[in-house]
Amino acid sequence: MTKEKLVTIHVHTPFKLTHADNSVQEFGKGRHNVPESVAAHWFVEAHTEALGDFTPPNLDEAGAQRIAELEGKVTELQQLLEIEKDKVVEQTEQLQAAAAGLVERNEQITALNAQVADLTARLEKSNGAAKK
């Protein structure tokens, strides 16, 4: 398997690129190292500036160890993110239930206000008839 030559692009406008296999790749502002075929795509060219060839740095053992540490940290942060996402889902469900309860209470208040208005009108009518 041959590796495709990488080039550096500078994204000035964030975008999502849908590849031929329907996979979607997101590009945020900043520099990205991508295969030449991606950099040459018309949609990529519309949102970027080409910066030239990218040559991967030669990593020594310390660099490789640092990468492994950072990858471990990324994994840890992704796990924390999933936990927080679960909390958000749970809180969203709680808020939706509370909102449904408020809607129900508002409907009850509206119905009770209508009953009060009806009873008030009857009372005023009966008080007016009694005074005559």
For 44-53, write each residue's pLDDT tens digit: 888 887 665 5
Give the torsion sign (CA, 58, 64, 70, 71).
positive
* Residue among 52, 58, 3, 57 nearest 32 (CA): 52
Residue 37: pLDDT band with limits 50, 70, 90: confident
Cβ 39 vs Cβ 8: under 8 Å: no
Q: Does the structure show a pLDDT above 50 at 127?
A: yes
Task: Determine the pLDDT at residue 123.
Answer: 92
State which H helix or E strand residue 7 sits in.
strand 6-11
pLDDT at 65: 83
Segment 58-78, tens digit of pLDDT: 667 777 788 889 999 999 999
**Distance from chain centroid for Cα 87:** 15
Residue 1 scores a pLDDT above 50 = no
- Domain coordinates of the chain in residue numbers? 1-56, 62-126
pLDDT over 60 (residue 2): no
